[in-house]
Amino acid sequence: MNELNNIISIIGKETTRAIIGLIGVMVLVVINALILTWAERKVAGHMQRRIAAKEVGPFGLIQPIADSIKLLGKELITPVNVERPLFYLAPTLIFVPVLVSFVVIPFGSYLQVKDINVGILVILAFSSLSVLSILIAGWGSNNKYSLIGAIRSVAQNIAYEIPLLLSLLAVVFMVNSLSLKDIVEAQRGLWFVILQPFAFIVFFIASVAETNRTPFDLPEAESELVAGYHTEYSGMRFALFFLAEYTNIFIVSAIATTFFLGGYQGPILPGIVWFFIKTYFLVFVILWMRWTFPRVRFDQLLNFSWKVLIPASLVNLIITGGMLKL
């Protein structure tokens, strides 16, 4: 304890908090990815009346660790004609938004690395970097499937970022703050999912599209594009893309929890437990959707966003603003 106090006095309280927070975030990212790879197999298995992973450990719980050891041990193949700097840059870059987003998410009333007064903007601004890295991966791979996947991903992300922002804006209107902590505190008693059910639905659909999950997984459609933008990646670089995808699922669920489901608030149990219960419930719904809905066609995908979601969320925003002024 004494040493810790010494360190705090040297580098300052804020910096210590940030460092400890970032270590916590790193641990959470890895554990979350391990849980989700296991959960995805199990959910998929039981939905198809199979047992799924069961050999390694009880209920196959050690399976993700075995998988990650396999991925760590695999050779990192760099194809001959790839654009080398870009090929190496993409898997690294995709991890930046993931780590930044965790800084502002309030896990409990005190468990937040830093409460920034433009919190939600930090997440939304940096999430655009993941599109950029998908683009770089697709272009740098020098592979037509990768490039098609990347182009689809960009079109999809541009289309779905607008309803995502508009649906969150409705909540920001009601709270008068961009800080995630203020938004959670404003939901003491009544969750915003009751006041803004429509915004919640729009946000959820748009966030599934932003994370490139089925039914919106056109950027990596296995049956037509091999694996989309990460076709040429192997070993740990491929694992980084997957780690980022699973962490993105967690992040969008955490934002939905924070904005619409009351965040860390709930009776009896401590705040962080409630936060994780709500978040993992939404994660489960996203996993569930993968095995329930077929993949949409590309024109359906874009039409749905531009012709349905954006006008509808604009109407929702106008009504919200009108109600607040009445």
Partner 1 sequence: MQFADIIFLIIIFVTMIGALVTVLSGSIIYAMIGLVTTMFGIAGIYVYLNAPFLAMMQILIYVGAISILIAFAIMLAGPLYKNPKEWTTITKFIASLVVSVFSFLVFFKVIMHASWMNTKAKEFTVTTKEIGRALFDKLTFPFELISLLIIVSIIGAIMLALLSKGEE
Element at 9 (helix H, strand E)? helix 2-11
Q: Nearer to partner 1 by C-beta: 125 or 319?
A: 125
Dist. CA 213–CA 160, nearest whole Å: 13
Binding mask 89-108 for partner 1 (x = CB under 8 A): x-------------------
Instruction: For the beta carbon of residue 246, count every other beta carbon within 10 angstroms.
Output: 22
Angle between helices 235-260 and 13-47 (to 10 degrees): 100
Among 9, 128, 292, 300, binds partner 1 (CB under 8 A): 128
Among 65, 71, 151, 317, binds partner 1 (CB under 8 A): 151
Q: Total number of residues binding partner 1 (CB under 8 A)? A: 29
Instruction: For the beta carbon of residue 50, count every other beta carbon within 10 angstroms.
Output: 12
Minimum distance, C-beta of residue 160 to partner 1, in the bound complex (Å)? 13
CB of 108 closer than 8 Å to CB of 99: no
Minimum distance, C-beta of residue 206 to partner 1, in the bound complex (Å)? 15
Examine residue 139 and tell whether it contacts partner 1 (CB under 8 A).
yes
CB of 28 closer than 8 Å to CB of 102: yes
Task: Give residues with Cβ within 8 angstroms of 47, minimum separation 6.
Answer: 288, 291, 292
Cα separations (Å) of 23 from 20, 112, 190? 5, 13, 33
Among 5, 117, 292, 300, binds partner 1 (CB under 8 A): 117
Minimum distance, C-beta of residue 228 to partner 1, in the bound complex (Å)? 14
Q: Nearer to partner 1 by C-beta: 158 or 277?
A: 158
Among 25, 82, 136, 171, binds partner 1 (CB under 8 A): 136
Which residue do the tokens 């390694």 mark?
56
Q: Nearer to partner 1 by C-beta: 32 or 313?
A: 313
Q: Nearer to partner 1 by C-beta: 139 or 275?
A: 139
CB of 312 closer than 8 Å to CB of 165: no
Among 47, 62, 116, 285, binds partner 1 (CB under 8 A): 116
Examine residue 65 and tell whether it contacts partner 1 (CB under 8 A).
no
Dist. CA 156–CA 159, nearest whole Å: 5
Q: Nearer to partner 1 by C-beta: 157 or 257?
A: 157
Examine residue 124 and tell whether it contacts partner 1 (CB under 8 A).
yes
CB of 108 closer than 8 Å to CB of 264: yes
Q: Which among 158, 90, 98, 86 is positioned nearest to 126, based on CA atoms?
A: 98
Dist. CA 130–CA 212, nearest whole Å: 11
Minimum distance, C-beta of residue 78 to partner 1, in the bound complex (Å)? 18
Among 157, 211, 212, 214, binds partner 1 (CB under 8 A): 157
Q: Nearer to partner 1 by C-beta: 136 or 183?
A: 136
CB of 246 closer than 8 Å to CB of 286: no
Interacting stretch for partner 1, rule CB under 8 A, among 23-31, 134-142, 212-220, 237-245?
134-142
Residues at the interface with partner 1 (CB under 8 A): 83, 86, 89, 116-118, 121-122, 124-129, 131-132, 135-136, 139, 147, 150-151, 154-155, 157-158, 161, 176, 178
